[in-house]
Amino acid sequence: MMHALDYASEAKDIFVLPDSVLQIKRLIDDDSSGMDDIASVINFDPALTVQILKIANSALYKFPNKIETVSKAIQVIGTNSVYDLVVACSICRTFTQLDSSVIDLERFWENAVCCALLCKYFAERKKLKESERLFVSGLLHNVGELVMVRFNPEIAKKCAQINETETPLELQLKLLGGATYADIGSTLVRMWGIPDAIVTPISKQHYSQHEVSDVEQQIMQLSYILALDNCNPEIYSGHANLEVELYENLGLEDSDLDAALSHVGMQSLSVLAMFSPASAAIV
């Protein structure tokens, strides 16, 4: 049986990120580079330019004035945050043309966006800087499933058959020989050279496997469970998989979870239209 590293290695050769991601990362690390240098890289990719401007003018930020240039977006959002959004857009665009008969891809992206928005909401609630990084971690938290759809669709189908007594994690551990989609996805994202601040929450998303004290990782674990239950109401009623410690460790109450899900519900469709590869927004 292949291991997480094997799947990630094969995926790295098939799913290739655009050069713009690496170029922007190099520019950010180069003290002699400025916003105009980064903007020029983004502007060279028309599809990416459209995406960044759509996101900057979306409900994710609620800026009072319309942002019409990438340079302005970088100025108001911040260099690191724009890079995080470039990573998110680029990776989502990378996973196009997958076989939609293997898993429900619409539900996959619904779950991904829900987790991402919850991560961002709780990060802002806890006043964490650069909440976009946690948003990206949430968006990519289950990207290992897309790798499995490509390389082992039969196992992907079986892992998708969740029910009241078997969670996705339990099915993955059983069918992947002790590995998880989190293992595959985080390994692949790390191979792409994406910063550890994005990768680590992905790798530690499962509460039953990883005892964490880092606030960002705690937010990921809570958001993962809330998104799982919220996007599969016909299987998991209420907060079926939620452990009280997941939100109490963050100083939250049950009412805070309802507020978070209500907030996410108002944003999910518009954000899904920006990030789902099936959307016309991805050109």
Q: pLDDT (tens digit, 9 = 90+) per residue, 200-251?
A: 999 999 999 999 999 999 999 999 999 999 999 999 988 999 999 999 999 9
Which pLDDT does position 281 carry in this prediction?
A: 40
pLDDT of residue 282 exceeding 80, the answer is no
For helices 19-29 and 35-43, give the axis angle rounded to 10 degrees. 180
| Structural contact between residues 216 and 123, judged by C-beta atoms closer than 8 angstroms | yes
Instruction: Sketch the domain layout of the chain as residue ranges.
Output: 4-15+99-275
- Amino acid letter at 183? D
Q: Which of 107-111, 175-179, 257-261, 276-280 has the lowest mean pLDDT?
A: 276-280
Q: How many CB atoms lie within 10 A of CB 31?
A: 6
Q: pLDDT (tens digit, 9 = 90+) per residue, 38-81?
A: 999 999 999 899 999 999 998 888 888 999 999 999 998 899 88
Distances in Å between the alpha carbon of 277 and those of 96, 119, 180? 6, 21, 23
- Residue 43 CA to its chain's centroid (Å): 24
Query: What is the average per-residue pLDDT within 111-125?
Result: 96
On whether the 4-15+99-275 domain is CATH 3.40.50.300, my answer is no
Query: What is the average per-residue pLDDT within 174-192?
Result: 95
Q: What are phi and psi of 13, to 5 degrees?
A: -80, -20
Rounded to the nearest 10°, the torsion over CA 139, 99, 22, 129 is 0
DSSP-derived secondary structure for the chain:
---HHHHHHHHHHHS---HHHHHHHHHHH-TT--HHHHHHHHHTSHHHHHHHHHHHTSTTT--SS---SHHHHHHHH-HHHHHHHHHHHHHHHHS-S--TTTS-HHHHHHHHHHHHHHHHHHHHHTT-S-HHHHHHHHHTTTHHHHHHHHH-HHHHHHHT---SS--HHHHHHHHTTT--HHHHHHHHHHHTT--HHHHHHHHT--TTT-----HHHHHHHHHHHHHHHHH-TTTS-SSTT--HHHHHTTT--HHHHHHHHHHHHHHHHHHHHHH-TTSTT--
